[in-house]
Structure 1
């Protein structure tokens, strides 16, 4: 069923995700800058933590429920909740209601909150109808990129299409497709720890396929995948820098260097 999108709001929440908080804070800051540039006031509840996906995908719904329950009341105002990670957005939108489906108190809260969950690219395109323009034309060199969309983000939130549309709208940017774009990078949270050899082979194939295009970098809206691909590429000595979609959009539209 096609999602019905609201009118552009004036205020939003940001759910920063634990990976952005701990490993890639610049992506979170750039997401805030993109939203503020659209005239939005961005609120960041300090009590937020993990979405519970690691526990949930590892077969621990009790732990996942405890993590989610601690955050259900943090987003009390009826504002959209913007998530700069398709997999975390998918967890909150599609699986939080399932976690609390038998809870008469938390269940309605989780279902109501899930309707306000938006992945960053989806929100910029479908709600804000953003028009991306380079504010410093002629100062940036042309750039070619390949996209990567995490498995759950692709299938649960449809975020590949949002990334495609945003990147294709950027002046001076060429998006290249590669043979293994739709495949998993091998991260999969706990999967990379439990099946390290398989995970390593998967990310090696992903990197080789992306490098074969001659792209300047790989762009993704999922930090877990970026950490996996980026570190593996460095370890292999592969010429494949990685960048979060929020940072890439901000930089390519003249945001780099702004305060």
Structure 2
């Protein structure tokens, strides 16, 4: 059996600054699977907020830094579909007039994967040996499902978690209303959207909601808290992590 490639962890800003337990879960998961990992400490934001706000020059600067930091990576894995989408689809756009940088962007894009995608499609792993006592539903985040086409991979992983009862919610692909700067610029619309999402989650009978993007989950968790709803909100990495996967509160 060949030695698995070393995974370079690409940790989303929100995970790094607000939800480090998601990054820790990834480390524990890869350790359990005997997959070598590294964390390039010089990594910063991938540039998506700047790009989405129209600041292409600043986004290109962040992208160039990212390409330098991950230049020697064998494979790059991130717990965020939106950040992976940025690297795969928007980095080539940012450097379309610079052949040398475009080539680097395309090479990096080809080795960058979202966590569930990497486990299922690249490694062929659908059971991480985790356990979880609870009824769980899954939220399809927009960039992950619509732009990257990643829908079944997370569900395959969830269905193989021992003790977990998986249920689908209605309109699982409907946006939660976060949308990065959208929720800041249009708070009333965003709140109405997350209320619809939260209603669908609760109607499913699930006591836990999960997803592959902590930004969406943060939005859902915040609204659930403000409404006084009792709901466990966990990133999929936390459910897949064999060490703590069974600790449902």
TM-score range, shorter chain: over 0.9
Native 8 Å contact 1:18 1:50 kept in 2: yes
2:104 pairs with 1:109: yes
- Which residue of 2 is the match for residue 85 of structure 1? 80
- Please, what TM-score do these two structures have when normalized by structure 1? 0.89
| Alignment partners' CA distance in 1, 2:178 and 2:55 | 19
* Number of matched pairs: 246
- Which residue of 2 is the match for residue 249 of structure 1? 240
Native 8 Å contact 1:13 1:42 kept in 2: yes
| Alignment partners' CA distance in 2, 1:65 and 1:95 | 10
- Which residue of 2 is the match for residue 94 of structure 1? 89
- Which residue of 1 is the match for residue 172 of structure 2? 181
- Which residue of 1 is the match for residue 116 of structure 2? 121
- Please, what TM-score do these two structures have when normalized by structure 2? 0.92
Structure-2 change in CA distance of 1:255 and 1:231 (3 Å): closer
| Alignment partners' CA distance in 1, 2:26 and 2:167 | 24
- Which residue of 1 is the match for residue 192 of structure 2? 201
Structure-2 change in CA distance of 1:46 and 1:172 (3 Å): same
- Which residue of 1 is the match for residue 53 of structure 2? 58
Greater mean alpha carbon deviation, residues 195-204 or residues 77-86: 77-86
| Alignment partners' CA distance in 2, 1:78 and 1:9 | 13
Native 8 Å contact 2:239 2:245 kept in 1: no
- Which residue of 2 is the match for residue 217 of structure 1? 208
Tell me how far 1:153 sits from its aligned partner.
1.1
Tell me how far 1:8 sits from its aligned partner.
7.2
- Which residue of 1 is the match for residue 142 of structure 2? 151
Unpaired runs of at least 5, structure 1: 1-6
